[in-house]
């Protein structure tokens, strides 16, 4: 199964909206800041905090090394970095697909807007489940009906 098919079925993402990006190792200054902030298994929190510290862009998308996972990383200037994986694992090799990018200056406004829209008491960084129903980002996802239709077509092709 292709990565595009997997993310379409597993996450309901619109594959046309995914953009492959190349992630580079952090520079020394970024690495020092990240070592003070980064916690394992907290890529969304790590990225939102570091976006503010580094005046960076928060990137939400898919990372694949062995299996594709929902993931967050940063864009500093024109360079993509992954503070969580580089700090915790020491490696940023793998495939990165960007779904959305939010500048640090707009990030907290987006978090608050999503919180208001969802009616949730807590504020969360942008993640697939927090933006899925937000009207501004509906184009990033396919409907459950389309997912089922696609799955049915895939099943018929496999059976043939």
Please give the chain's pLDDT, 160 residues, in tens.
788 888 988 999 999 999 999 999 999 999 999 999 999 999 999 999 999 999 999 999 999 998 999 999 999 999 999 999 999 999 999 999 999 999 999 999 999 998 898 888 888 899 999 999 888 999 999 988 888 887 777 665 665 5
Query: CA-to-CA distance for 128 and 125, rounded, in angstroms?
Result: 10
Indicate if the alpha-carbon torsion angle 83, 84, 86, 92 is positive or negative: negative
Bin 125: left if φ > 0, else alpha if -120 < ψ < 50, else beta: beta
Looking at the 3D structure of the chain, how many domains does it have?
1
Q: Which domain holds residue 132?
A: 3-159
Q: Does the global pTM surpass 0.85?
A: yes
- 3-class secondary structure, 117: helix
Query: CA-to-CA distance for 136 and 47, rounded, in angstroms?
Result: 21
């Amino acid at each position: 199964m292709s990565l595009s098919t997997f993310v379409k079925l597993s996450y309901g993402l619109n594959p046309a909206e995914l953009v492959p990006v190349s992630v580079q190792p952090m520079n020394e200054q970024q690495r020092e800041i990240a070592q003070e902030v980064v916690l394992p298994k907290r890529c969304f929190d790590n990225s939102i905090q570091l976006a503010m510290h580094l005046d960076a862009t928060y990137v939400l998308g898919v990372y694949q090394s062995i299996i594709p996972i929902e993931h967050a990383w940063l864009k500093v200037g024109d360079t993509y970095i992954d503070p969580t994986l580089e700090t915790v694992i020491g490696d940023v090799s793998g495939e990165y697909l960007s779904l959305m990018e939010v500048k640090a200056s707009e990030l907290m406004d987006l978090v608050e807007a999503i919180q208001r829209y969802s009616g949730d008491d807590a504020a969360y960084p942008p993640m697939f489940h927090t933006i899925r129903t937000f009207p501004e980002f509906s184009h990033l996802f396919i409907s459950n009906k389309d997912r089922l239709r696609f799955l049915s077509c895939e099943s018929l092709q496999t059976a043939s």
